[in-house]
Structure 1
Amino acid sequence: MCTLVVCRAKRAAYPLCVAASRDEDPERSAAPPGLHYVGSVRAVFPRDRRDGGSWVGCNEHGIVAAITNFTDPNPGESHEVLSRGLVLTAALGEASIMGAEGVVRRLVETHSVRGFGLYLGDRDEGIWVHGGGARDYETRAASGDLEVLGNDREPGSTEIRGLAEWWAEASAPEAFDIEAILDRLVVVLATGRARATSVSSDPPRRAIDADGTWPVCIQSGVPRTTHATWIAVPRGDHPWHIRHAHGNPCVVAPRDYSWLAARMVAGDSEL
């Protein structure tokens, strides 16, 4: 996972919007978003073809999960390590944030998992979970109206240029337009410029330009940005919105997968 943006507007028809891009070896293929059962819970997520997990998804109970990577100095052999993506999909089998975090905690306690930063959120609350590898397991509330997380970055240590000013205006009740918000977040993941905040002086694990910023979307090299997903969680009878770019979002336009969310919520049995 390259960059994760969490937007909150607690009183809006869509109180949670998540934009997430994936950095990966382009040779590691993935299936586009599909409707899956995780235990008895219906969920929508793209699937990593190699290990079967995912990097972002949502479930019928309104939970969104998205994961980023933390580099481990001694990760061990790949066959001995539980994929971070399987940690995420296991969390989507739960009906509450508390239940999802409990599943994640048990997996980290009973398996070898590489370092990760995981966001779990629903209509009312969200948490950050960090663990795996040599990292101590910890959780904290994701209480901000706008939060950004990147690979090897702690929450609060990264910002995207111009994003906070835009969200302050776009999230206002008189201006709130979910389609316009998603359109802007599509542009952010394709063309945005990120920079470190004063919270952390640790440089990101990518090239930094002379102005201190780096591109959200990586177009070349390994890893590079291979996918991007946008999810808007509604209240009441408002429809879900899911968009997904199955390829580098700088060059591949997102497709609308909201129909999958409609099936997820309706309990469509034809999976």
Structure 2
Amino acid sequence: MCTLTVAWQVFDSHPVVVAANRDERLDRPSTAPAEFRDGEHRVVAPRDEEAGGTWLGYNDAGVVVAVTNRWVGDLGGERSRGLLVRDALREPSADAALAVVESELDARDYEGFNLLLADAADALLVEYDGAPSATRLDPGVHVVMNVGYDTTYVVPDVRPDLARQQAENGKRLLRALLPEDGERAAGWRERAADALGDHDYGVCIHPPEAAADGEGPAAGFGTKSSSLVAIDADGRGDYRFAPGPPCVTDYEPVDSQI
């Protein structure tokens, strides 16, 4: 499971604000976010050391890209979804990134995913279950989970009870993160960070013993890290990273010049 929240064109000072939990095998190696050059752009992103990709980052053009899993069964993916995030982060705009993603999906198969592409002008969500579907998001707060986004969810044949619970968690989280009167980007980001670590919302996952019925999260799997990214009106980014579950791990600023 992964949880991705975004406030897009809600705050004039910061048109893109993202708060996200990464749920993954706890033994899967990764490194903390850092600034590096990738193609023509400077990028700030963590690295998945197993496949070489990333799950959330931004570039010096103010483009934010983030991915979650999508529960659709085994599609026989040929390439890591994190590398698709890297592809998109090489582009100068969300629209240009969408064109690259759609071209890549024409050429190769991937496992199911939800992919956010956002900058100050556009916010696009690509849902992939063997065929891509792209939606232009309206200004506002959005919550993306493994089974859908906002109030649109699909219950798969695999783990249906857990999927229904995740959908309810997403809807409650969306209601909780609607912007408040007079709220600023920093205040919303703080509320989002608190919610991501609040077990009442069910999105900070800790590894249980493996469930006998296969409905629960697998043993050795949980919330491995959490990220806060804000892009200001000039396209400059701020990344704060918690290298563990946010209920017990502080967010620390990532050193970057972009």
Aligned residue number for residue 70 of structure 2: 70
Q: 1:146 to 1:192 in 2, by over 3 A?
A: farther
Aligned-partner Cα distance in 2 for 1:231–1:246: 14
Aligned residue number for residue 202 of structure 1: none
Q: CA offset at residue 160 of structure 1? A: 4.7
* Correspondence 1:99-114 to 2 at 5 A: 99-114=96-111
SS at match of 1:20: strand
1:219 to 200, 206, 219: 206
Q: CA offset at residue 165 of structure 1? A: 5.3
SS at match of 2:138: coil
2:136 to 141, 158, 164: 141
Aligned-partner Cα distance in 1 for 2:177–2:46: 29
Q: TM-score, normalised by structure 1?
A: 0.78
Aligned residue number for residue 4 of structure 1: 4
Aligned-partner Cα distance in 1 for 2:83–2:41: 15
SS at match of 1:227: strand
Q: Please tell me whether the aligned partners of residues 227 and 246 of structure 1 are also in contact (alpha carbons under 8 angstroms).
A: yes
Aligned-partner Cα distance in 2 for 1:93–1:122: 13
Give the partner amino acid of 1:168: P
- Once structures 1 and 2 are overlaid, which stretch shifts more, 105-114 or 58-67? 105-114
SS at match of 2:142: strand
Q: CA offset at residue 18 of structure 1? A: 0.6
Aligned residue number for residue 167 of structure 1: 178
SS at match of 2:75: coil
Aligned-partner Cα distance in 1 for 2:74–2:125: 24
Q: 1:154 to 1:52 in 2, by over 3 A?
A: same
Runs of 4+ in structure 1 deviating by more than 4 angstroms, as ranges, are none
Aligned-partner Cα distance in 1 for 2:220–2:72: 17
SS at match of 2:197: helix
Aligned residue number for residue 47 of structure 2: 47
Q: Please tell me whether the aligned partners of residues 143 and 174 of structure 2 are also in contact (alpha carbons under 8 angstroms).
A: no
Q: CA offset at residue 193 of structure 1? A: 4.2
The answer on 1:123 being equivalent to 2:120 is yes
Q: Deviations over 1:87-135 (max 9, x none)?
A: 011100000112101111121111221111101111122011112xx53
Q: CA offset at residue 179 of structure 1? A: 2.9
Q: CA offset at residue 7 of structure 1? A: 1.0
Q: Deviations over 1:50-98 (max 9, x none)?
A: 001011110111111111112343333xxx7200000011100000112
SS at match of 1:12: coil
Aligned residue number for residue 148 of structure 2: 153
Aligned-partner Cα distance in 2 for 1:92–1:240: 13
Q: TM-score, normalised by structure 2?
A: 0.82
1:183 to 164, 182, 190: 190
Q: 1:154 to 1:88 in 2, by over 3 A?
A: same
* Alignment root-mean-square deviation, CA: 2.1
Give the partner amino acid of 1:226: K
Q: Please tell me whether the aligned partners of residues 160 and 192 of structure 1 are also in contact (alpha carbons under 8 angstroms).
A: no
Q: Please tell me whether the aligned partners of residues 6 and 18 of structure 1 are also in contact (alpha carbons under 8 angstroms).
A: yes
Q: Please tell me whether the aligned partners of residues 22 and 226 of structure 1 are also in contact (alpha carbons under 8 angstroms).
A: yes
Q: 1:55 to 1:162 in 2, by over 3 A?
A: closer
Aligned sequence identity (%): 29
Q: Please tell me whether the aligned partners of residues 70 and 116 of structure 1 are also in contact (alpha carbons under 8 angstroms).
A: yes
Aligned-partner Cα distance in 2 for 1:166–1:185: 7
Aligned-partner Cα distance in 2 for 1:137–1:177: 34
SS at match of 1:161: helix
Instruction: Figure out how many residues of one structure are paired with residues of the other and give that number.
Output: 231
